[in-house]
Amino acid sequence: MNQPLIIDYYSDILCVWAWVAQQRIDELNQKLENEIYFKYHYLDVFGDVQTKIETQWKQKGQYNGFAEHVHKSASIRDDVPTNSKIWTEVRPTTSANAHLVLKAIELIYDKNTSINMALKFRSAFFIDALDIGKLEILYDLVDFYGLEQKKITSSVHDGSAIAALMSNYQKSAQQNLQGSPSYIIDEGRQIFYGNVGYRVLLANIEALL
């Protein structure tokens, strides 16, 4: 049996294009089944939200302008809902806390549990408008979905989770990844980032299978 094609997938939990991309990843996994395998990693796009908004969106409406951009970006698909409160009323200060907890879950449980929780964190923000920049909110979600908070916090407290997260951040910097989400295919021979369409991804993946 042939080994599946590895796709290293880097994203930021607060990135709207990664929220949109989730639907495309689901479609790719459904169509190609065991022929591909996504490895999930995180990169730093919204590590310091306030500075990002003040520098990149200063002349474009700041938070309100960014909120408009997010809702417009998500509207390209009917199955990518966004709550009107995100970025206007609910403004996470960082994505790093969510990334940290997800790496802790990966270490304590396994990669699939962390991947599933990442989708729940994204849904909590984009659909329910919960501030997933706050550890309190993240731990409430962990409890709600039946994971053991005590075990997860132990990985945060002993430094293993932050070490794993820093490894992701450093690898993304070493590969000069330009944005979220980024797809690294065929051991780096092909790299795509941002709002990449399903057909483009499918064609390039199928060419390697």
What's the pLDDT tens digit per position in 166-180?
999 999 999 999 899
What is the Cα–Cα distance from 95 to 46, expressed in whole angstroms?
5
Domains and CATH numbers, the chain: 5-206 (3.40.30.10)
Mean pLDDT value of segment 188-196: 92
Tokens coding 116: 């599933």
CA distances to 52, 153, 201 from 65, in Å: 13, 36, 30
Mean pLDDT value of segment 179-197: 93
Residue 1 above 70 pLDDT? no
Token pair 């797809």 is found at 183
What is the Cα–Cα distance from 191 to 62, expressed in whole angstroms?
30
Q: Residue 40: in which H helix or E strand, if any? A: strand 36-42
What pLDDT does 79 receive? 87
Amino acid present at 180: S
What pLDDT does 181 receive? 98
pLDDT digits (tens, 9 = 90+) for 10-52: 999 999 999 999 999 999 999 998 899 999 999 999 999 999 9
